[in-house]
Every structure is written in structure tokens, then in C-alpha cells.
Amino acid sequence: MKCRYRKAAEQGSASAQSSLGVLYASGRGVKQDFCAAAEWYRRAAAQGHPKAMSNLGVMHHNGTGVEQDFGEAAFWCGAMCFCAFDCTGRVRVDDNIEILEVFACST
């Protein structure tokens, strides 16, 4: 599975980059590596992938695989919130929306 995601990720697919980040963060099919997870999330987030943004925000908030940085965490959370709306103005709900609760409780 990693090989399939890696090829697409290296070709610039934000979805594959985010998925590869999930694999590295969880250690599913690969050796767990939070630094690699953060790098793949960062690549996907830079392309506007909301789930990668929230995952990267959590990593910065917790200091997992990256230096703990609440400013970076808030930046990625804000970016994810901006991208969480569809073109009709309705909120797109995904399984990582709990990031909002993390930041609401930490401010």
C-alpha cells in the first residue's frame, strides 16, 4: 500500500501525500515515523488539503514529530477552518473536525 501512495505522493497528489502521512503517523504498513508524517502532511497542506492541515496543526500543538509551536498550530487550524467550507458556505464535516475543540480548549 505504501508504494502506491508514495508514487502518487511524489507526483504531487495531495490526497496521497496526506494518506502517506497517516501511514507514517500510525505505523500501518511502515515503521512509525512522526517526522516523515509531518513532512507529508506539510506537502499536502501546502496544496490546501484540509485533513492534512488539521493533522499538521495537531502535530504542532502536541509537539509530535515537529517542534511544539502553538503559532504554527493555530495557523494550520485556521487554514483548515477556512478550507472546511464548501462553495455553498456550508461546513464540510470530516473525521478530524475535533481539531476545533483542541484549539478552543487551549486558548
Its domain, for residue 52, covers 2-106
pLDDT value of residue 68 = 94
44: domain CATH number is 1.25.40.10
Q: In order along the chain (107 residues), what is the average pLDDT of each group of 10 residues?
A: 80 94 94 96 91 91 94 81 55 48 44
Q: How far is CA 9 from CA 39, 53, 54, 68, 105, in A?
A: 11, 16, 18, 26, 33
pLDDT value of residue 4 = 78
Report which of 12, 75, 84, 86 is spatially closest to residue 51, judged by C-alpha positions: 84
Domain count, the chain: 1
pLDDT value of residue 106 = 44
Phi, psi torsion values for 58, nearest 5 degrees: -65, -40
pLDDT value of residue 103 = 45
Instruction: Write the DSSP symbol of residue 66.
Output: S
pTM of structure = 0.74
